[in-house]
Structure 1
């Protein structure tokens, strides 16, 4: 990789480090609860997040393919910073909902553009086959940043109000925002552009219709991502139910971040040896067993089972995004990832509603069993399909 591309990759590393340096995450549920937000309220904000994502995902991906990746990345990081500014003064459901709306818009702008820019940068120097390798390293940098934030974020509340974590998160996000201006876009040749917006969307839809094997891989990754996402969202409440003290929260958060390093770093190597589908099925079976065990053992053992699941889940993102970008047409690269994210958030709304209802009217442990059952759906689909043939 030439010096210019090395510098570009370093800029991306620093940008993602500061963007993930968020001490607020480790006390997020406690802060929200202190401001009057119940589990159901949190899930409703997740639904708001999903609705905004559904509205903006594809348009933002189309824009990233047509005007460039960088403008969308700059806007996306700024909106994430605006979320923290609103959360600092939020004391009602609708203020929290507004903040999450800003976050969702920012996430929509980033979801297709960031990885499209990474792939384009590698393709420009004929290194695109290393996309999942680089993505794994970026994911590891993100985990390191989150770990640093977790340690500091769990230490600070012992001496300062919880709001200090949100102020530091705001400053870190604004630092990432400034760094985005140093990223360099990879311009597509005008002759490569799709003729119209509707043509671009239609071409992206046809792409997935013609790629059933890829769609199945994305479905496998989606179920893992949903389960892991809800576990990472509500582990704090699980530890409280398990009788584990607040003083251990930072250490536990650090552990669940560290265990995801090996998967992120080894995804490229493991994919070459075992194949994507095999690895994702192993992750699903591991997650199903771990979530079921944690539901029946709400204690230290259950907390350890959650760690095991997240250890396995660490390979997921590089695997599925690598598969998508390997087959993607550069003209609609960001649009394709936005389509994938669109479907994910549509499913998130449905699963999140059921998860929140079960957690509120029964127990969080019961909602973990629900996630375990949902995780098995893609495997059951494959079994039924084979029986019908």
Structure 2
């Protein structure tokens, strides 16, 4: 089987894993199974910590034993976590589900991107990353639409059918073709870490993008609903707006065209500016049209930035320990996101406007880090010349 088949398999796998049919009622489902909101946040916090702990060891495992083995193990753990979620009716069971989920996601993180990058020509990688993100979004979009049909039967049915899609995704992982088994020299864990930490330029970019990405996550998942209410939008339209935002995120599929036309650094700079301006508008506006347009531009811009940053990260790696280095970069992103999430969450308790002000500050910090990254990039280019 040609390595390019890996790309299509990964598209299908991530598409199926987007079928989280219980997504629109995830909180209500847990509450219905005896889990309080405070316990949900506690489990979520522990999940962040576990992700950070397992991220780098999983990357090293992938480089040493193969991307396919790592993805097979991780996706089967992912599948098992959905079975436990379906059966869970206590704190202990939901906690176990989240532990397995964290272990699984840490294993997939970095390894999936490393596999995709190693399965294509370098000049195609950004296009492939954009499509990969789009397939994930498309799966979630279709899953959200199908939810309205499944939930008519029962809440439990939404969790049950999620298990089926994840079982198929896990089975498909078995057909992936290994791409790094022929390495004569296997990477040493300590050396991989030292290599990653020496790449300060990329770490700066990763932290910068993590700041922007977490702002977008908070705006697109939490603050949007408060802002809709503030703008006088009727709750009956929230579902339609959620679908619209998912469709907008499909713009990641065209990210490569923007970076070809403007260059990667210039594209990121413009998209950062759009997100910052939109957050500033959301601080002051209570107009429904401005609110919806601002959130659309925020979600769309972030979707386009993601594959560009992934491509820059991968092109910066010239050693055999690709998955380990990507996992180290992801760890920095996770740490940044966890801190930003807490800060914005605290200001959101004061008011929606206060939370958006914090988002603007985070965007400015991200832009400053992007400027530092660009300066270091230019310096390196001049030194080479």
Alignment of 1:54-133 (within 5 A): 54-91=52-89, 95-122=93-120, 127-133=121-127
Are the structure 2 counterparts of residues 170 and 369 from structure 1 closer, same or farther at C-alpha, using a change threshold of 3 Å?
farther
**1:138: which partner in 2?**
132
Q: Does the CA contact (< 8 Å) of 1:66 and 1:193 recur in 2?
A: yes
2:193 counterpart SS class: helix
**1:331: which partner in 2?**
320
Range 47-56 or range 196-205, more displaced:
196-205
Residue by residue, what CA displacement relative to the aligned partner does 1:233-274 show, whole Å, maximum 9, x if unpaired? 326743774565565344222211111222x12211211222
**CA–CA separation in structure 2 for the residues paired with 1:298 and 1:94:** 42
Residue by residue, what CA displacement relative to the aligned partner does 1:176-196 show, whole Å, maximum 9, x if unpaired? 0111111111134343423x3
**1:265: which partner in 2?**
253
Are the structure 2 counterparts of residues 188 and 81 from structure 1 closer, same or farther at C-alpha, using a change threshold of 3 Å?
closer
**CA–CA separation in structure 1 for the residues paired with 2:277 and 2:177:** 44
Residue by residue, what CA displacement relative to the aligned partner does 1:179-226 show, whole Å, maximum 9, x if unpaired? 1111111134343423x32223223323x14xx2x3333233212211
Q: Does the CA contact (< 8 Å) of 1:5 and 1:121 recur in 2?
A: yes
Residue by residue, what CA displacement relative to the aligned partner does 1:362-386 show, whole Å, maximum 9, x if unpaired? 3455333322321211324567999
**CA–CA separation in structure 1 for the residues paired with 2:362 and 2:334:** 15
**CA–CA separation in structure 2 for the residues paired with 1:285 and 1:44:** 34
**1:228: which partner in 2?**
216
Q: Does the CA contact (< 8 Å) of 2:6 and 2:116 recur in 1?
A: no
Q: Does the CA contact (< 8 Å) of 1:154 and 1:249 recur in 2?
A: no
Q: Taking structure 1 as the reference length, what is the TM-score of the superposition?
A: 0.85
Alignment of 1:246-285 (within 5 A): 247-262=236-251, 264-285=252-273
Are the structure 2 counterparts of residues 21 and 318 from structure 1 closer, same or farther at C-alpha, using a change threshold of 3 Å?
same
Residue by residue, what CA displacement relative to the aligned partner does 1:283-310 show, whole Å, maximum 9, x if unpaired? 2222223234335446734244212210
Are the structure 2 counterparts of residues 72 and 180 from structure 1 closer, same or farther at C-alpha, using a change threshold of 3 Å?
same
**CA–CA separation in structure 1 for the residues paired with 2:89 and 2:263:** 48
Q: Does the CA contact (< 8 Å) of 2:212 and 2:362 recur in 1?
A: no
**CA–CA separation in structure 2 for the residues paired with 1:384 and 1:119:** 26
**CA–CA separation in structure 1 for the residues paired with 2:110 and 2:281:** 36
**CA–CA separation in structure 1 for the residues paired with 2:9 and 2:111:** 15
Structure 1 runs not aligned, ≥5 long = none
Q: 1:15 aligns with which of 13, 31, 37?
A: 13
**1:161: which partner in 2?**
154
Q: 2:299 aligns with which of 310, 317, 324?
A: 310
1:343 counterpart SS class: helix
**2:195: which partner in 1?**
203
Residue by residue, what CA displacement relative to the aligned partner does 1:118-177 show, whole Å, maximum 9, x if unpaired? 11112xxxx1221111111122222221111111124443x2333322222222111101
Range 197-206 or range 378-387, more displaced:
378-387
Matched positions, count: 373
Are the structure 2 counterparts of residues 268 and 46 from structure 1 closer, same or farther at C-alpha, using a change threshold of 3 Å?
same
**2:226: which partner in 1?**
238
CA RMSD of superposed structures (Å): 2.9
1:331 counterpart SS class: coil
Q: Taking structure 2 as the reference length, what is the TM-score of the superposition?
A: 0.86
